[in-house]
Structure 1
């Protein structure tokens, strides 16, 4: 007979979540941070961290799935199907920007992207963003297939970097929205 699964919210689940949340914070700031740094931030010993994640790759895989689930939940919370397309798009931009710089880490880390099964899983769930982009497009999409999706994520990456440098959140969101809805170059600015 197998052991019962941990109850959601039980001590084991809370410790695992604390480790993943610490990994999000630490690795977003320092992608080469040690497991000891992550354990210290989580308030657990390194041996405890290793009981949950035997290797760094195990932690990174779990972190990627955790961030992906948070991203998908944030998209759903933004209610992308409700209201005018531009308002829905703004909510989606805001919810993704709120996840912070851990998102580009997860989707670009070589350890994570080298796992084809994991990469395929991480490539799911943002289809609704493309639908919102299509609804918000006033002149149709230019570029190759998948271009709006790539532009969306590239602009969010720029937004994470800009916010990290101290640009106010509202200004970052406004810039992303202007780029998505009006184009990226304003000939009146240098």
Structure 2
């Protein structure tokens, strides 16, 4: 039972760090401890230094990206359909993506298999669901930039629902990737 409590406490600290660092990469460890509802001493028991916490945040981020890709079932359907499913799964990562876009955690975000995503785009080129004139790295850059734009829009527009912004995001990507009419 003790290890269950320890795991939940550690996860609460990592989750609080993701949420707070996404809005303010310079937030204090005291702020993170308060958001996790633990004392600063408890936070330091789990993470001796800020760098240790950032490494745990980056590792958690990599795991969440991999889980999202698995949920998107990238092997099913056309490449375009798979990419849109992935976009929907990534959209739900919210604060994590904001943190990633801010550059925190750097090298640890590379745990997402870029080659797998390139293969999805190439499949879309082959099956006609993604314009073959768009290089894979361009398509993936478009995916990331539109996810960023969607989260920024959602954060700035208090009247916008997550559902509406996700619809705008997938519509934009779908139209941008579609091959031109013959």
Contact 2:61 2:109 in 1 (8 A): no
Give 1:141 shift. Answer: 4.1
Match 1:46 to one of 15, 40, 48: 40
Is the CA contact 1:19–1:38 (under 8 Å) kept in the aligned structure 2? Answer: yes
TM-score, normalised via structure 1 length:
0.76
SS of match in other structure, 1:163: helix
Counterpart secondary structure, 2:111? coil
Q: Do the aligned residues in 1 keep the contact of 2:100 with 2:109 (CA within 8 Å)?
A: no
Q: Report the Cα offset of residue 84 of structure 1.
A: 4.1
TM normalised by structure 2 equals 0.79
Aligned equivalent of 1:142, options 119, 134, 137:
134
Q: Does 1:31 align with 2:25?
A: yes
Structure-2 residue corresponding to 1:55: 49
Gaps of 5+ in 1: 1-5, 114-118, 185-190
Alignment-derived partner of residue 180 in structure 2:
none
Partner deviation per Cα, 1:18-76 (whole Å, 9 max, x = no partner): 10011122222332221111101111100110111111121111101101111111110
Task: Identify if the C-alpha distance between structure 1 residues 142 and 88 changes in structure 2 by more than 3 Å, giving closer, same or farther.
Answer: closer
CA RMSD of aligned residues (A): 2.5
Report the Cα distance in structure 1 between the residues aligned to 2:82 and 2:103, rounded to whole angstroms.
29
Determine which of 151, 154, 171 is the counterpart of 1:160. Answer: 151
Number of equivalences: 170
Question: Cα offset for 1:11?
Answer: 2.2
Structure with the bigger RCO (C-alpha within 8 Å, sep 6+) is 2
Q: Which has the higher helix share?
A: 2
Match of 2:112 in 1: 125
Contact 1:92 1:129 in 2 (8 A): no
Partners in 1 of 2:122 and 2:111 — Cα distance? 18
The aligned runs of 1:164-183 (5 Å cut-off) are 164-166=155-157, 167-183=160-176
Could you list the runs of 5+ residues in structure 2 that have no partner in the other structure?
Answer: 178-182
Secondary structure, counterpart of 2:174 in structure 1: helix
Alpha-carbon spacing, 1:171–1:126, altered in 2? closer, same or farther (3 Å): farther
Partners of 1:172 and 1:130 in 2: CA distance: 25
Matching of residues 59-70 of structure 1 within 5 Å: 59-70=53-64
